[in-house]
Structure 1
Amino acid sequence: MFRLTASLCFLFLLSLQSCSKYEPVTFASPYSSSEAIRQEVASDTGNIFRFEPAAKQYAFIGQEELAIAMWDSSRSALKRAYGWEDLDTFSTDQVMRDFPNTIPAKKVILEQSASHRFTILNEAHHNSQHRAFTHSLLEDLYDQGYRHLGAEALIVNEPAGFIDDPQQISTESGTYVQDPEFAEMLKHAVELGYKLFEYEANDTIYGADRERVQAENILRYAERFPNDKLVIHSGFGHLIESETNKYTEWPQMGRQLHLLGGVDPLTVDQERYHPASSPAFEQALYRSVRPQEAVILTNGAGEAFGTNGADLSVFHPPVGLTSPLNKFRIDRSIALDFPVLVHAFRDTDDLSVAIPFAVAEATSHEFSMSTALDKSSVIILQQADGISIRLMRSGYQALN
């Protein structure tokens, strides 16, 4: 009897010790696990456009390589269905001869942005790397007089027509803004002193009208602040300045700024030269450059390479080179139903609407994040069965 009682007491103490490392919480994650995303794609075989939203969802949980692979699946589907393929037709060798130097992209951009009032960078909506790069430029651009950041993906519900408080950035700020990299870019901008504004046309406007309305909204906002410079973070080809383009029969937003406002923005294309899931999906020029950091091609005359209707083309390195991973281990005494989504919040966040500063997926008690955690981090785990817990600081440890 004594031995049984002692054993029960021991188990009770173990249970108390384990519980001190976490607590149950009511929390509904806006994100999906990799397996749930994969199953959704597999169940929707009749829709050739199913890969694009899946790629976005992978990016949101930090699965960048899966996001890129899913995007490439979309390109394969479009090629099979419509014969669509977007590969360079110019001579790679000629470009390498004309622009033999690889210079850090930030250096080239900042040299040119100083003399412009508008600087536009684009993104592929499944690629968090593009958001992180724009993020990295904001402080230097602020020093050059840039005071406003407009984002195609942003929804602003403030009476002033702009956001100037990081707490105003929430899960209601736009679908793509739910990518932690996007939200962190916006929050950092506000902390530096930027005002954030939206410029997207409403969802009933398409095609040529959409490009025109985007430009009109940007110009109308700029008129409110005639002495300030503006950064624009657009999607895909909207920044194209050329009169014609291979994607549409109408001028894009970048060209509309010329036509409607006489504006000549500095345009920086990020989405053409970046890593793919296999060489078959990469531009031949990208394979020739093989960047180890974000670079732009230049020549001895100080000229920089730009294509795809933009002034400058950024060549991004393979995923992982720019964001070393921080590794963590959840205490093994905590029983979990894997896979688990790990959400990292700040202790000032309202968990009902806040966007985490990092999200990762754990298939075991160990997980990795590109962002470090500290004592003020609030860690929420959502398990495969939907049950969520808050992990206390004693419930995990850093491995590096």
Structure 2
Amino acid sequence: MKKSLLLLAGPVLAGSLVAFLVLQTESALPVRRPDSPLPYKFSAVIKEECAKNTPGANQVAAWDYSFIGDYPAALRAWDEQPGPPRRLAAADSLAFVGLHAVEAAGYILARARTERIIILNEAHHNPRHRVFASSLLPGLARLGFRYLAVEAIAEQQDARLNHRGYPVRETGFYTKEPQFGRLLRIAHARGYQLVAYDYGAEPSPDMHASIAAREPAQARNIARLLQTDPQAKILVHCGFSHANEGPDGLGGLPAMAARLRELTGIDPFTIDQTALTEAGTPAGEAACYRLATATRSAVFLPVPGKAPYAHADPAMSVDVNVYHPRTKYQAGRPAWVFHAGYEPVAIVEPITVGYPCLLLAYAAAEDLAHAIPLDVVEVQGPGDKKCFALPKGSFTVLAMGRDGRRQTWVIQN
């Protein structure tokens, strides 16, 4: 099953521009040593590596594109993996069009008032899902949620992350993506305790054995929070089918969500973002996604008070599907990167490292030798007018050319 394979294939992204002041241009600013490679690749390199058609090449390409902010390329690379078309029976189509959309965050926060454990999944190549997760954090904090358990945080990195308040390269694999970094920064600022939970299972080349070990281990690690804090309210952030509550949720075995329910006796509120979301081409989308007309993130209800729509993926047993409309673009970027106080910041410094170049924006208050940048863009030439998405503050920008040359400057937004 495609969703089972991808969970084990990897190391288990229109408004006015905001003016800023260029404070300094100096190639000798204290950034990484030349022998310390950055975990970001040029799009041409990603394309070349993907063309080799090694196992999982398209997955890896989709992740790599997302890390440098190339959202359309990430979607296209993911779609190019083999898989059956996502169809919906005629009767189901008629039933879906009879539903009405309600704003997703409001619905989830209303439900959260009576929930102890919420499980929210993501597609690992789709930064928009992290943006939506970030949008829920302030409201959930007001409802008493104090723990954010994150699959992508590496074992034993959560204590360092909670102390530091921002991710570094050692924090995890997917966490090097800027929107994931923003999710973790917002959670820390809102008082959440960040918790790693994807550990404790020995890796195995046999997929069935890996699932049989990994899912219970994840559930046990989350359940320990309730042992130390019996009143805890927990938001669990995971990938794809770990949120599946069905008895054969992942590779024919119970997934983390089902295992956690068994361990704790608490029925989690499970939210899927992966089925009703845009793909690189319509062929990669669920048929009901193409029927939806909502203009903002939504859930679909038959009538008020009834259970929401949760059947966009027949292989997933969850409580609700969240729909995300097609992306609109602003300042050369997906408009959803401009949220939670982040604004378009023009790139006006003359580029001296040649084109194409990668531009990485680091918070001046963070450790530039290790921190994950707040934003990453690839600029193809002088006419490429992409903007950074940044909050108010001081930032060091690193420009890197294909030949390894580096240029740095400081901006104040």
Under a length normalisation based on structure 2, what TM-score does the superposition of the two structures give? Answer: 0.82
Pairing 1:276-291 to 2, within 5 Å after superposition: 276-291=279-294
Instruction: Tell me which amino acid in the other structure corresponds to 1:312.
Output: V
Q: Give the Cα separation in 1 of the matches to 2:159 and 2:27.
A: 40
Q: Could you tell me which residue of structure 2 aligns to residue 309 of structure 1?
A: 317
Q: Counterpart in 1 of 2:378?
A: 361
Q: 1:260: Cα distance to partner?
A: 2.1
Structure 2 unpaired stretches of 5+: 1-21, 205-209, 328-333
Query: Aligned-residue CA RMSD in angstroms?
Result: 2.4
Q: How far 1:85 sits from its partner (Å)?
A: 4.9
- TM-fit CA distance, 1:30: 1.3
Report Cα offsets for 1:136-186 as digits up to 9, x if no partner: 10010000110000011112536x858423446311010001011111101
Alignment partner of 1:377: what SS?
A: strand
Tell me the residue number matched to 1:101: 100
2:48 aligned residue (30, 34, 39): 39
**Aligned-partner SS, 2:336:** coil
Q: Distance in 2 between matches of 1:329 and 1:134?
A: 28
Q: 1:318 aligns with which of 309, 315, 326?
A: 326
Query: Residues of 2 paired with 1:94 and 1:19: CA distance?
Result: 58
Q: Does 2:365 align with 1:348?
A: yes
Given that 1:380 and 1:390 are in contact with CA atoms closer than 8 Å, whether structure 2 keeps it comes out as yes
Deviations 1:102-152 (A, max 9, x none): 111001111111111001100001000001110110010000110000011
Query: Against the structure 1 CA distance between its residues 258 and 164, is the aligned structure 2 distance closer, same or farther, given a 3 Å change threshold?
Result: same
1:232-254 Cα deviation digits (max 9, x unpaired): 00000111112234x52111111
Q: Secondary structure at the match of 2:171?
A: coil
1:331 equivalent to 2:338? Answer no
C-alpha deviation, 1:39, in angstroms: 1.0
4+ aligned runs moved over 4 Å, structure 1: 84-90, 160-163
Letter in 2 for 1:116: E
- 1:272 corresponding residue in structure 2: 275
Distance 1:387 1:339 in 2: 12
Q: Percent of pairs identical after alignment?
A: 28
Secondary structure at 1:251's aligned position in 2? coil
Report the counterpart of residue 240 of structure 1 in structure 2: 244
Which position in structure 1 is the counterpart of 2:93? Answer: 92
C-alpha contact 1:163 1:195 (8 A) present in aligned 2: no
2:262 aligned residue (241, 259, 265):
259
Deviation of 1:88 (Å) = 4.3
SS in 1 for 2:251: coil
Distance 1:291 1:385, change over 3 A: farther
For residue 101 of structure 1, report the CA deviation from its aligned partner. Answer: 1.1
From the CA coordinates, give the structure whose radius of gyration is larger: 1
Most deviating of 221-230 and 261-270: 221-230
Letter in 2 for 1:301: P
**Cα–Cα, structure 1 residues 370 and 312, in superposed 2: closer, same or farther, change >3 Å?**
farther
Q: How does 1:68-83 map to 2 (within 5 A)?
A: 68-74=75-81, 78-79=82-83
Residue identity in the other structure for 1:353: H
SS in 1 for 2:347: strand
CA distance in 1, matches of 2:390, 2:142: 27
Amino acid at match of 1:243: P
1:183 maps to a residue whose letter is G
Q: Which string of whole-angstrom CA distances, capped at 9 and with x for unpartnered residues, describes residues 196-226 of structure 1?
A: 1111134516112211111111111221111
> Kindly tell me: are residues 256 and 392 of structure 1, through their superposed partners in 2, closer, same or farther at Cα, counting changes over 3 Å?
closer
Task: Tell me how far apart the structure 2 counterparts of residues 195 and 163 of structure 1 sit (CA, whole Å).
Answer: 9
Q: Distance in 1 between matches of 2:181 and 2:335?
A: 22
Q: Quick one: distance in 2 between partners of 1:294 and 1:379?
A: 32
Size of the aligned set, in residue pairs, is 364
Give how far 1:327 is off. Answer: 5.4
Amino acid of the residue matched to residue 229 of structure 1?
A: K
Verify the 8 A CA contact 1:345 1:357 in the aligned structure 2: yes
* Structure 1 residue ranges without an equivalent (≥5): 1-17
